[in-house]
Amino acid sequence: MKQFAYIAITLFLATVFSNTSALAAHKQTFTGEVGDAMCGRKHMEGTPAECTRTCVEHGSKYALIVGEKIYTLDTTDKTALATLDQQAGKNATVTGTLDGDTIEVSSVAAK
């Protein structure tokens, strides 16, 4: 009976750890135009860069527009935020982990 319990526990732990690693997100790279999550493609004020910066100053998050898709960019990294600000209205390459429509940003590079 003890042997059965050890086998059951071992199988359970193996299943849990294999599923956890399978669920772990992997980094992807996306290239598109840096905008903001509120306006997306349809900027309401000034140039795309000016509108993006204004919206972000008022609480919107940066976004990456890739074709028809708009991804919200989530980061607190000051270097990434500075690059996003510089690239507002321009193309950039963003590397990060995708979760639904949000990219947890690891790095940003001018395109």
Architecture of domain 26-110: Beta Barrel (2.40)
Taking residue 77's Cβ as centre, other Cβ atoms within 10 Å add up to 13
Gap between the Cα atoms of 105 and 91, Å rounded: 15
Token pair of 93 as six digits: 């390459």
Where do the structural domains in the chain lie, given as residue ranges?
A: 26-110
Gap between the Cα atoms of 19 and 10, Å rounded: 14
Instruction: List per-residue pLDDT tens for the chain, 111 residues long.
Output: 566 545 545 555 555 555 444 455 799 999 999 999 999 888 888 899 999 999 999 999 999 999 999 999 999 999 999 999 999 999 999 999 999 999 999 999 998
pTM of the model: 0.76
Secondary structure string (H, E, C) spanning 36-57: ECCCCCCCCCCCHHHHHHHHHH
